[in-house]
C-alpha cells in the first residue's frame, strides 16, 4: 500500500506526515518513505541536505518528491547570517561559529583535484560562497583586496585567450575573504553600500541539497523545486562526482521541472562514485590523470557498471544557471540517460577557478545518452562530450553566446549530431572520430585535431562492455545537409586557443582525407609492409554530401554536391522567453534540398565496427527538425536545422 507524506514549514517531525499533521523537514519524510510513496512538500524555505534513506523498486514503484501544486518550495544549502559588523568603508565582518558547518566547512575546503588549473603561485579558491539577495560573491586572496575591488567589464577566456564581456560587471565588486580558526570562521565581505543585516545575506554550509549518502538508491523522482546554494566540490572524471542534486551511482532517477542554481561547482551530477578512484593523480603524483581515468572504466565494470544497475536517468525541463563548473556533469553514471528540454546558462562565467572539466553539460562515457532540445547559452563551453561518446545523440538543441558550443574529445563513435543550431563564434571542435552530422547550422568555426597519445576505450554497441581501445587518428566522419557560415577567424578565435590545428569555417580542414572507404583502403595498401605502423600516417575517410556553404565557408575537397553561396547572415535572437533564428540567404539557397536521412544512409564506424542506431538496435531515425516538424521518406527539405527555411529574410522561433 502506497502513502502520500506531507511536509510543511508549519509541521513537526514528531507528526505523522499526513496532510493534517505534516512533517517539518523533508529528511524526516525521506526517512519514512517506502517504494511507491510520494512526498509532497508545501511552500516555503527549507535549509537542509535531503539524503534519501531508500529508493524505489522499479519505474512503476518509485519514491517521488514533489512540490505541492502551485506552491513555491526552495531547498537551500546555505544559512542566513546576521550579526555583521562594519569593518571599514563598505566592508563588513561576521564571526561564524564552526558548529554551523559541522564536519564540513566549505571555507576551509579548496577547489582542487585532477585537472584543476591554477597559475603558478596563484592562491587556491575555496568551496565557500557568500550571497547577497541571491547574488554570489567573488573570493579574493586577502583582506586588503576587499577595500576597493575593481569593476571588471571584460575577462580573458581561458580557452581562446580572447577578452569576453562580463555579464554582470557590478557583481565582480561583490567580494569576500575568510579565515578559518579553531572555533570560528571569520568572513569579510564588501557589500558595496548594502546593509547585510537588513538584506538577505547567506553563506553556503552544505555540500549538496538533494543527494544520497550511499549509492544504489534507484528510481527516485525529484520534481518542481528550487534548489540552490550548495558548496559542491570540483568534479573531474577521476573522482567522486557529487552535485547539488544527483543519484550517487544509481539507476532510473527522474529530475524534472526544477530551478537549480548557484552550485559552487556542479549542479546536477550523473557521475561516478568514489571507490573507482578519487583524484589519485593529484594525491599521488605518480601517473597522469588519463591513466587513472582509463583504470576507472575497468574498475567500474568490476562493481557492476552496466545497464541493469546504473544510469537510465531522465533530466528534463529544468532551468540550470550560475554554477562554477557544470550545469550537468557525469562520468560512467550517465549511461543510457536522456537530457532534454532544459535551459542551461551562465555556467563557469565567474572564472574564479579553471580546469579541463567545465561545460553547460560535461559528460564522459555518454553511452547511448540522448541530449535533445535543450537551450544552452552564455556558458564557457556549451556541451563537452569526453571519452566513449558512443551511441550518443545530440539533437535539436539551440546553442548561442557560448565561448564554444560543442566539443567531442577522444571518442570513436558512432555518435549522431542532428538539427542543432550552433550559433556561437566557435561552433564545433572534434578531437574524435566516428561522428555523423545531419541538418545542423554551424554559424561559427570548426576545429579538428588528432590525438595520438591517448588511447581511449570503445564498447560493444549499446553496452558498457569494453571492446577495445585506440588512439584518435581523426576523420571517419559524415556530414549531410548542414549549413556552414563563414567569418573572420582572428575575431572569432584568436590564435587558435590551445594550439594544434587552426580552426576554419566549413569542412576544408578535412581536405587531406580520402572521400570513400575504398580510397582509404587503397592508401593503406600503398604503405610499406607492416602492422600498426602502416596505419599511423593515413587519415581516415570523410563522407560529405549536400551541404551548404555561405559567406566564405568552404566545403571538403572530396564532397559530393556542395552548394556554395555568396553573402548570408544568421543571428540567434532572444525575445523575452522565446528564441528566434533570423536568416537572410541568397536565392540559390532554395536549390539546396535534402531528403530524409536514416541510420542506413550513414557508413559504418570503423574502429567500433558499429552502425548508427537507436538504443534498441534499430537504424537511427532522423526525421524531425528543430521546430518539431516531422518528414516522411521521400520528402525533401531545406538544408540545415529548420525544414521550412527559405531564401531571403526569415524569422523562425526555435525555442
3-state SS record for 242-301: CCCECCCCCECCEEECCEEEEECCEEEECCCCHHHCCCHHHHHCCCCHHHHHHHHHHHHH
Measured between alpha carbons, how far is residue 184 from residues 131, 178, 179, 306 in Å?
19, 11, 9, 46
Q: Which residue has the cell 539533437?
A: 395
Helices and strands: H and E segment counts in the chain: 5, 55
- Residue 190 bridge partners (DSSP): 91, 175
**Residues 347-365: tens digit of each pLDDT:** 999 999 999 999 999 999 9
C-alpha neighbours within 13 Å on the C-beta side of residue 575: 13
Using CB atoms within 10 A of its CB, is residue 118 exposed (0-12), middle (13-18) or buried (19+)? middle
Residues 6+ apart with CB under 8 A from 563: 546, 547, 548, 549, 588, 589, 591, 592, 639
Using CB atoms within 10 A of its CB, is residue 247 exposed (0-12), middle (13-18) or buried (19+)? buried
In this structure, the number of other CB atoms found within 10 A of the CB of residue 481 comes to 27
**Residues 35-87: tens digit of each pLDDT:** 999 999 999 999 999 999 999 999 999 999 999 999 999 999 999 999 999 99
User: Nearest 5°: CA angle at 319, between 101 and 337?
Assistant: 95
Helix (H) or strand (E) holding 417: strand 415-418
What's the pLDDT score for residue 495?
52
Please give the average per-residue pLDDT across 566-577, as a whole number: 96
Assigned CATH for 4-55: 3.30.1910.20
Residues 132 and 136: their CA atoms lie apart, in Å, by 7
**Residues 265-311: tens digit of each pLDDT:** 999 999 999 999 999 999 999 999 999 999 999 999 999 999 999 99
Domain with CATH 3.30.1910.20 in the chain: 4-55
Using CB atoms within 10 A of its CB, is residue 649 exposed (0-12), middle (13-18) or buried (19+)? exposed
Before 414, cis peptide (omega within 30)?
yes
What's the pLDDT score for residue 497?
47
Please give the average per-residue pLDDT across 564-587, as a whole number: 97
What's the pLDDT score for residue 598?
96
What's the pLDDT score for residue 501?
72
Measured between alpha carbons, how far is residue 15 from residues 52, 213, 241, 467 in Å?
19, 25, 35, 55
Residues 269 and 306: their CA atoms lie apart, in Å, by 18
Report pTM.
0.97
For residue 172, which of 380, 48, 313, 349 has the smallest C-alpha distance?
Answer: 349
What's the pLDDT score for residue 155?
82
Question: pLDDT-based confidence at 602, cuts 50/70/90?
Answer: very high
Domain with CATH 2.60.40.1180 in the chain: 79-204
pLDDT exceeds cutoff 90 at 492: no
Q: Cα dihedral sign for 190, 192, 198, 202?
A: negative
Measured between alpha carbons, how far is residue 110 from residues 126, 127, 264, 271, 537 in Å?
4, 6, 11, 20, 44
Pairing assessment for the beta strands 392-395 and 359-364 based on DSSP bridges: unpaired
What's the pLDDT score for residue 494?
59
Residues 251 and 424: their CA atoms lie apart, in Å, by 34
For residue 66, which of 118, 93, 29 has the smallest C-alpha distance?
Answer: 29
Q: Is residue 50 within 8 Å of residue 65, measured between CB atoms?
A: yes
Please give the average per-residue pLDDT across 193-202, as a whole number: 98
**288-309 burial, b for 16+ CB within 10 Å, e for fewer?**
ebbebbbebbebbeeeebebeb
| Residue-by-residue DSSP string for 317-348 | S-EEEEESSEEEEEESTTTT-EEES-EEEEES
Higher pLDDT, 633 or 11: 11
Question: pLDDT-based confidence at 496, cuts 50/70/90?
Answer: very low
Domain 79-204 in CATH 2.60.40.1180: yes
pLDDT cut 90: percent of the chain above it: 92
Using CB atoms within 10 A of its CB, is residue 563 exposed (0-12), middle (13-18) or buried (19+)? middle
Q: What is the mean pLDDT of the chain?
A: 96
Residues 121 and 137: their CA atoms lie apart, in Å, by 23
Which region holds residue 262: left if phi is over 0, alpha if psi is between -120 and 50, else beta?
left
Q: Is residue 549 within 8 Å of residue 565, measured between CB atoms?
A: yes
**Residues 365-396: tens digit of each pLDDT:** 999 999 999 999 999 999 999 999 999 999 99
**Residues 94-130: tens digit of each pLDDT:** 999 999 999 999 999 999 999 999 989 999 999 999 9
Query: Hey, what's the torsion of the CAs at 65, 67, 73, 74, to 10 degrees?
Result: 30
The DSSP output letter for 583 is: E
Please give the average per-residue pLDDT across 164-169, as a whole number: 83
What's the pLDDT score for residue 154?
85
**1-36 burial, b for 16+ CB within 10 Å, e for fewer?**
eeeebbbbeebeeebebeeeebbbbbbbbbebbebb
Q: Is residue 407 within 8 Å of residue 384, measured between CB atoms?
A: yes
C-alpha neighbours within 13 Å on the C-beta side of residue 479: 31
Q: Cα dihedral sign for 618, 620, 623, 626?
A: positive
**Residues 211-251: tens digit of each pLDDT:** 999 999 999 999 999 999 999 999 999 999 999 999 999 99
Amino acid at each position: 500500500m502506497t502513502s502520500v507524506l506531507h511536509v510543511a514549514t508549519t509541521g513537526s517531525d514528531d507528526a505523522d506526515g499526513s496532510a493534517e499533521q505534516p512533517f517539518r523537514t523533508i529528511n524526516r519524510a525521506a526517512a519514512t518513505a517506502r517504494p511507491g510513496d510520494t512526498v509532497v512538500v508545501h511552500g516555503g524555505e527549507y535549509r537542509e541536505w535531503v539524503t534519501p534513506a531508500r529508493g524505489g523498486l522499479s519505474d512503476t514503484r518509485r519514491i517521488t518528491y514533489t512540490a505541492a501544486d502551485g506552491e513555491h518550495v526552495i531547498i537551500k544549502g546555505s544559512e542566513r547570517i546576521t550579526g555583521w559588523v562594519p569593518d571599514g568603508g563598505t566592508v563588513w565582518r561576521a564571526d561564524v561559529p564552526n558548529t554551523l558547518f559541522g564536519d564540513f566547512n566549505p571555507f576551509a575546503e579548496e577547489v582542487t583535484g585532477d585537472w584543476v588549473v591554477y597559475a603558478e603561485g596563484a592562491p587556491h579558491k575555496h568551496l565557500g560562497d557568500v550571497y547577497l539577495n541571491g547574488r554570489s560573491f567573488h573570493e579574493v586572496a586577502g583582506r586588503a583586496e576587499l577595500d576597493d575591488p575593481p569593476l571588471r567589464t571584460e575577462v580573458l577566456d581561458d580557452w581562446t585567450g580572447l577578452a569576453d564581456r562580463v555579464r554582470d560587471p557590478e557583481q565582480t565588486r561583490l567580494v569576500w575573504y575568510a579565515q578559518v580558526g579553531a572555533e570560528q570562521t571569520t568572513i569579510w565581505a564588501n557589500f558595496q553600500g548594502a546593509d547585510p543585516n537588513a538584506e538577505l545575506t547567506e553563506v553556503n554550509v552544505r555540500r549538496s541539497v538533494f543527494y544520497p549518502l550511499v549509492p544504489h538508491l534507484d528510481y527516485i523522482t525529484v520534481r518542481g523545486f528550487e534548489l540552490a546554494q550548495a558548496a559542491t566540490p570540483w568534479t573531474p572524471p577521476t573522482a567522486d562526482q557529487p552535485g547539488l542534486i544527483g543519484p550517487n551511482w544509481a539507476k532510473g532517477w527522474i529530475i524534472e521541472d526544477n530551478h537549480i542554481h548557484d552550485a559552487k561547482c556542479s549542479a546536477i551530477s550523473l557521475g561516478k562514485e568514489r571507490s573507482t578512484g578519487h583524484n589519485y593523480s593529484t594525491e599521488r603524483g605518480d601517473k597522469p590523470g588519463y591513466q587513472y581515468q582509463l583504470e576507472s572504466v575497468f574498475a567500474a565494470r568490476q562493481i557492476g557498471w552496466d545497464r541493469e544497475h546504473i544510469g537510465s536517468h531522465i533530466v528534463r525541463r529544468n532551468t540550470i544557471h550560475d554554477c562554477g563548473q557544470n550545469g550537468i556533469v557525469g562520468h560512467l553514471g550517465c549511461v543510457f540517460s536522456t537530457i532534454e528540454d532544459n535551459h542551461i546558462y551562465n555556467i563557469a562565467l565567474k572564472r574564479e577557478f579553471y580546469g579541463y572539466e567545465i561545460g553547460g553539460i560535461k559528460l564522459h562515457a555518454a553511452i547511448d545518452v540522448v541530449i535533445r532540445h535543450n537551450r544552452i547559452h552564455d556558458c564557457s563551453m556549451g556541451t563537452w562530450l569526453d571519452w566513449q561518446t558512443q551511441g550518443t545523440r545530440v539533437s535539436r538543441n539551440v546553442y548561442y553566446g557560448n565561448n564554444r558550443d560543442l566539443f567531442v574529445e577522444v571518442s570513436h563513435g558512432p555518435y549522431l549530431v542532428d538539427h542543432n543550431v550552433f550559433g556561437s563564434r566557435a561552433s564545433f571542435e572534434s578531437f574524435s572520430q566516428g561522428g555523423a552530422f545531419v541538418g545542423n547550422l554551424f554559424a561559427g568555426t570548426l576545429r579538428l585535431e588528432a590525438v595520438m597519445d591517448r588511447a581511449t576505450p570503445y564498447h560493444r554497441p549499446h553496452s558498457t562492455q569494453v571492446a577495445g581501445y585506440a588512439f584518435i587518428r581523426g576523420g571517419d566522419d559524415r556530414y549531410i545537409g548542414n549549413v556552414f557560415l563563414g567569418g573572420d577567424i582572428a575575431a572569432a578565435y584568436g590564435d587558435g586557443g590551445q594550439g594544434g590545428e587552426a580552426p576554419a569555417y566549413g569542412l576544408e580542414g578535412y581536405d587531406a582525407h580520402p572521400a570513400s572507404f575504398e580510397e582509404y583502403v587503397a592508401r593503406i595498401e600503398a604503405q610499406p609492409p607492416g602492422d600498426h605502423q602502416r596505419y599511423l600516417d593515413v587519415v581516415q575517410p570523410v563522407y560529405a554530401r549536400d551541404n551548404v556553404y555561405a559567406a566564405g565557408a568552404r566545403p571538403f575537397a572530396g564532397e559530393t554536391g556542395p552548394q556554395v553561396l555568396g553573402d548570408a547572415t544568421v543571428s540567434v535572437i532572444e525575445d523575452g522567453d522565446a528564441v528566434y533564428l533570423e536568416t537572410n540567404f541568397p536565392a540559390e539557397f532554395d536549390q539546396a534540398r535534402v531528403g530524409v536521412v536514416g541510420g542506413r544512409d550513414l557508413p559504418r564506424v570503423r574502429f567500433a565496427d558499429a552502425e548508427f542506431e537507436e538504443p534498441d538496435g534499430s537504424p537511427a531515425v532522423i526525421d524531425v527538425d528543430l521546430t518539431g516538424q516531422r518528414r516522411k521518406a521521400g520528402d525533401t527539405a531545406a538544408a540545415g536545422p529548420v525544414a521550412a527555411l527559405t531564401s531571403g529574410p526569415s524569422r523562425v522561433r526555435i525555442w
